[in-house]
Amino acid sequence: MGFLLLPLYFLSLLLIVFSAAVHGANSSASSMTPIPRDLYHSSGALLNEIEALASRHPDVLTMEKMRADNKGYAAEIVVITYNHVKKQTNNKSKFRILLSFGQHGRELITSEVALHLLSVLAKEQKMLSMQPTSFNKILENIVIKVVPMENLNGRKLVEGGELCERRNGRGVDLNRNWSVDWGKKEKDYDPYEENPGIAPFSEPEAQIMRKLAKSFEPHIWVNVHSGMEALFMPYDHKNSTPNGLTSRLMRSMLQDLNHRYFQDKCLVGSGGGSVGYLAHGTTTDYMYDIAKVPMAFTFEIYGDLSASSKDCFKMFNPVDKVTFNRVLNKWVATFLMLFEMVPSRLHSIHLAVSSVKLVPIGGNVVDGSLIGDSRESKKIEGLELGMQELRTYFRLFLLSSVLLMFMFCSRISKSKCRPACPNLAI
């Protein structure tokens, strides 16, 4: 009888463990806030709305699609260009601003801000705090390129139920796939969250963004994320900011934005020095160090620090209408103030280094146009990538040397042991 009871006991124990696991999974799933479909567009609907917006305002908005693929994985990125008087002035004589939203799939609120910003630029939405004349004056001397959803493939995974997914469609963090300090891993490195890919620019999305930055040569770069409220400048990969006048002006701009719209509540400073961890291979560090964008920023536009770490959607996105609208309006106003600052702040840099009126940092004057010194940046990028490859080969050499040494020592140990220890088990 005892022999019969023992299997029954183990069976009942397994059932208890299984039911507890199922209950835990269900309770975890039930604690996950779903996407509020009444607030957020699907990826397809949002991009369709942006395309329709561009078709209604061809005088100021143009749309293009950029594609790339690598080893069977493909990506497509929509780029919207805003140019207030594009038929009358050469773009190279204007200040150029490049904005990217939605680099991480789970940060849906960033793409909603992009849509709202484009609607305001097209004058389908109004900013009550700004008069039309001042609005037009701000925008007439700048060209803006907006990437509303950099990581479309990752966004689709989130919409399919993987609400914590930040990576692209094949599991690479796009904000770790750039070449500055690529592949370095901190003690708190999370291989799931921060997978940098097999090499710098292995991912089509990063390749597209690099190509866009090279062709457009922006004076201002902003990478828009969510997870907290912060206004960051370089660097992400070390606990410091750049030296010199440009760095001081960047910090001054961020402090002014923080005071005007956030009552000095946002974190301001370098990403690596403010966020609590170092990030290697980020887009903003590349834009500043390699692409030589005079001013490069990362904006973190929302974060619910009270949300459970498992409730990813609530942690990274507002879930009620009041907060949702407040985030949209506040950050669009922030961008408009940034656009207003650009000419005067960049002009301050050029007055300090030369008597030429409008020359980008590290740039040359050609017939009054603004062009970057692309040859120099290409040399620096090639050198940096070459050093990265040398470091990779050196690591592989060390690893193979250790393995060979281990095999050699093991072989010697066995040959010494054979005559003296004939009875040892294999």
Catalytic residues: 300
Dihedral sign of CA atoms 283, 285, 286, 287 in order:
positive
Can you tell me the distance from the alpha carbon of 384 to that of 390, in angstroms, rounded to the nearest whole number? 10
Distances (CA, A) of 219 to 48, 145, 353, 426: 29, 12, 16, 68
* Angle between the N-to-C axes of helices 132-139 and 321-353, in degrees from 0 to 180, rounded to the nearest 10: 50
Q: Which residues pair with 232 in a beta bridge?
A: 269, 298
Is residue 343 helix, strand or coil?
Answer: helix
- CA–CA distance, 7 with 13 (Å, rounded to integer): 10
From the DSSP assignment, how many helices (H) and strands (E) are in the chain? 12, 10
Q: Is the dihedral of CA 270, 241, 213, 85 positive or negative?
A: positive
> Which residues, in sequence order, are CB contacts of 167 under 8 Å at separation 6+?
104, 105, 154, 173, 174, 193, 195
Q: How far is CA 55 from the centre of its chain?
A: 28
Return the DSSP state at 174.
G
Task: Single out the residue of 335, 68, 105, 47 nearest to residue 210, CA to CA.
Answer: 68
Which phi and psi (to 5°) does residue 301 adopt?
-100, -10
CA distance 196 to 285: 15
